[in-house]
Structure 1
Amino acid sequence: MSNSGSNRGGTGWWAALRRPSAKYSLIALLTAGFAGGIIFWGAFNTGMEATNTLEFCVGCHEMRDTVFEEYKYSIHYSNRTGVRAVCSDCHVPKDWTHKLIRKVKASGEIWGKLTGSIATKEKFEAKRLQLATNEWERMKARDSIECRNCHSFDAMSPEKQQQTPYKKHMQAKLEGASCIDCHKGIAHKLPKGYKDPNAKDAEEW
C-alpha cells in the first residue's frame, strides 16, 4: 500500500510538472514566459537607452538653462568633423552593469528635482562646485573610461601635436594619470572657487 501510495504521489508530481495548469501545458507556459521576458527586457532596455539621449538630458530647465548652454559652444557639441559627444557619452558608462548602477544612482536626482534644490541659476551656481567635484571623482575612480572610449594615448599622433600638449600627454602616460586630472572644464565652465592643482599660479574663477 505504501509503495502504491508513493507511486501515485510520484505520478501526481510528474503530472503536475508536465501540466502545471489545467488549461495550459508546461511548454505553453514556458513559451509564454520566455516571450514575456523578451518583451519586458526589450522595453526596459529601450527605456534605459531613451534616458541617454540629449533630448532627455536637457528636458528639464535645470540643465537646459545652465550647462547645456555652455556645452553648445564646446568642441564636443560642434566641430569640423561633425562628431558629437552627447551627455551620456561622458556621464554614463558604456558597459551594461555599470550603466545600470549609474542609472540607479541617478534616480536619486529625482528628489532634487522635486525639492527644487537647483531650480534656479543662482541655486545651481551655489552647488556647481560640489556637483562638479562629485562627477570628477566618479570619473577619476573609473580612470576616465568615458573619455577613453573615444581618446587613447596609443591612437595619438605626437608629431601632430604642439609641444606643450605633447609633453603633457607623454608625462601623463608615463605617470598613469587619468584624463580628468587635467581636462576639467572642457564642455562646461569651471565652478567659481575651483583652483587647479596642476597650475603654477592657481587663480580663483
Structure 2
Amino acid sequence: MIWNWLKNPGVRWGLIVGVVGTFVGIVGFNVVVAHTNTMEFCTSCHSMSYPLAEYKKSFHYKNTVGVQAGCPDCHVPHTYPDLLIAKVMAAKDVYGEIMGHIETPELYEKERLTMAKRVWAKMEATESRECRNCHDFEDMLSDEQGRRARRKHSEAQKKGGHCIQCHKGVVHEMPEGYEG
C-alpha cells in the first residue's frame, strides 16, 4: 500500500522536498541560534556599548585564570526549550533598540533599574541557573576565600541560597535608585 503510494512522482518529490526542507530548516535554525548567542551579536547594537564597557571592567571579562564569561553565558539559558523562550523574549530588546528607547546614555540610565529588575527576577526564578553553569558551591575553595565570603557561601549552601541573592552588580553597575 505505502509502496504504491510512493510510486506516484508527485508524492515522491513532495517527500524529498519535505525531508530536504526539514533538514535545511533545522540546520539553518541552529546556525541562527548559534550566531545570536555570540558576544559580537549581543554587543552589536549601539545601546549595548554601555553595558559592554561595564562588563570589560569586570572579573567575568578579564581575570587571573583567563576564563571569560560572555553575555550569553549569563543571560541566555543553555538548554532547550528555555533557550528558545529567551530568544523569543529578546524580541522586545530588538524592538527597544529600533525604537531608540535606550540609545543614549541618559535614556539607558533611565531604564537601567527596570532592565536590571527584569534580569534579576529571571535569575531569581531559575535560582541563578546560568551562574551555576560555572559556579558551584562544591567546587569552591572555601579556605582561600575571605572570612566573610566563606561564611556567606556556607550559609547560602546550607539554606539553599543562590548567586543573584547576594551578587547583584557583579558585572554591571548598580542602577541608580536601587534599594536592596
TM-score over 0.5 for the pair: yes
Q: State the partner residue of 1:46.
A: 31
CA–CA distance in 2 between the matches of 1:63 and 1:114?
A: 13
CA–CA distance in 1 between the matches of 2:136 and 2:120?
A: 19
TM-score, scaled to structure 2 = 0.93
Q: Deviations over 1:22-80 (max 9, x none)?
A: x3563x5434422221111111111111011111111111011x111010010100112
Shift of residue 161, structure 1, vs aligned partner: 1.5
For the pair 1:56 / 2:12, whether they are aligned, the reply is no
* Structure of greater Rg: 1
Shift of residue 114, structure 1, vs aligned partner: 2.3
Q: Deviations over 1:106-145 (max 9, x none)?
A: 1122221222111111011011001000000001101100
CA–CA distance in 2 between the matches of 1:161 and 1:110?
A: 40
Q: State the partner residue of 1:158.
A: 142
Which of these residues, 85, 90, 110, is aligned with residue 106 of structure 1? 90
For the pair 1:145 / 2:137, whether they are aligned, the reply is no
CA–CA distance in 2 between the matches of 1:54 and 1:62?
A: 14
CA–CA distance in 1 between the matches of 2:64 and 2:142?
A: 20
Which of 1 and 2 has higher RCO (CA within 8 Å, sep 6+)?
Answer: 2
Q: How does 1:164-183 map to 2 (within 5 A)?
A: 164-183=148-167
CA RMSD of superposed structures (Å): 1.8
What is the one-letter code of the residue matched to 1:58?
T
CA–CA distance in 1 between the matches of 2:143 and 2:152?
A: 14
Q: SS of the residue aligned with 2:137?
A: coil
Shift of residue 167, structure 1, vs aligned partner: 0.3
Q: SS of the residue aligned with 1:154?
A: helix
TM-score, scaled to structure 1 = 0.82
CA–CA distance in 2 between the matches of 1:32 and 1:113?
A: 38
Structure 1: runs of 5 or more not aligned: 1-10, 197-205
CA–CA distance in 2 between the matches of 1:18 and 1:67?
A: 57
Which of these residues, 83, 87, 109, is aligned with residue 125 of structure 1? 109
What is the one-letter code of the residue matched to 2:7?
R
